[in-house]
Amino acid sequence: MSAGDRFGWRLSRAALAEATAVIQALHPLEPDLAAISELLHGAIPIHTFAPDPVSSAWRGLYLSIYTLPRRILLVGSIDDAPELADVGNDTTDLLIVETDVPVVSTSEFLPTGAQWRSLTEFGSDLNTEDRVRLAIALVSGLQPAAVLVMGSRAGWEMLARHGRALCNSTALFAAIAGSPDLSAASLLQKYLRKCIYVLTELYGPSERAIRRIAELFALTEDEYDKLRALRDWRDDQGFLTWPGKGK
């Protein structure tokens, strides 16, 4: 919401008169109303839904998407994620969204035909919280079958805040990778414990790295079972083929 006065929105006299009438009639019964009756003519702020940078960015992002993606990959910086070249031919119904960087990636190594967007394309002044809100709106609004968070701080934050709700309709995946402003280790420290229970699979760079992470975070057997090497993302239960056969 925005402060209306800055944009010239005004409350009509008739609406103000309506509120005044209610307050005059009911304030003897309602101590909460008595307290505001003196403020009513001018001292109460007016909020409106004037366009702001985040809602404008959301509008641009949403309207730029022409087909419903079955899978969304949230990546901090496309140019810092060479693993994305390995998406290969699995680009059907896949939308790659770059979430964290203030400069749009060149995306040279993405396979031909891969659909991608960068949040920065839709708002040059977006802050970290704005980017989290956009990631949440995208995933909760489009309800894809699967989401993969790869080196995306906005994506991890989305998982931490709303993973419990999102996993009702979307299989949630994450990959161990650094974001533009946090190392992979820092992201894991910050988010792994909060998020592991909502993840379907967590991809690591290698079996050795996976074992190390399991030890470091004292993962339970069930949690350890969710760890895979990134090359497994094309397996039957993996992100790139989700929902897989028989689902």
- Tokens 């409350």 correspond to 11
Q: Which residues bind another protein (CB under 8 A)?
A: 1, 4, 9, 11-12, 14-16, 18-19, 21-23, 25-26, 29-33, 35-36, 39, 44-51, 54-55, 58-59, 62-63, 65-68, 133, 136-137, 140-143, 161-162, 164-166, 168-169
Taking the least distance from each CB to another protein, the nearer of 66 and 108 is: 66
Angle formed at CA 23 by CA 19 and CA 28, multiple of 5 degrees? 170
Cβ of residue 234: shortest distance to another protein, in angstroms?
Answer: 26
CA angle 203, 206, 207 (to 5 degrees): 95
Report whether 220 contacts 247 (CB < 8 A): no
What phi and psi values does residue 94 have, to the nearest 5 degrees? Answer: -105, 130
CB of 54 to another protein, least distance (A): 7
Beta carbon of residue 193, minimum distance to another protein (angstroms, whole number): 17
Nearer to another protein, 164 or 231 (CB): 164
Q: Is the CB of residue 168 less than 8 Å from the CB of residue 195? A: no
Running DSSP on this structure, what letter comes out for residue 14? H
Q: CB–CB of 147/171 below 8 Å?
A: yes
- By C-beta, is 79 or 130 nearer to another protein? 130
Q: Closer CB to another protein, residue 36 or residue 214?
A: 36
Which residue's CB is nearer to another protein, number 1 or number 103? 1
Find the shortest distance in angstroms from Cβ 90 to another protein: 20
User: Is the CB of 34 or the CB of 85 nearer to another protein?
Assistant: 34
- Give least dist CB 178 to another protein, A: 26
- DSSP class of residue 180? S
Host H or E run for residue 136: helix 128-142
Tell me how far, at minimum, the Cβ of 28 lies from another protein, in Å. 10
Distance CA 139, CA 119 (A): 14
CA of 73: how far to CAs of 2, 70, 78, 155, in Å? 32, 10, 10, 9
Distance CA 104, CA 77 (A): 8
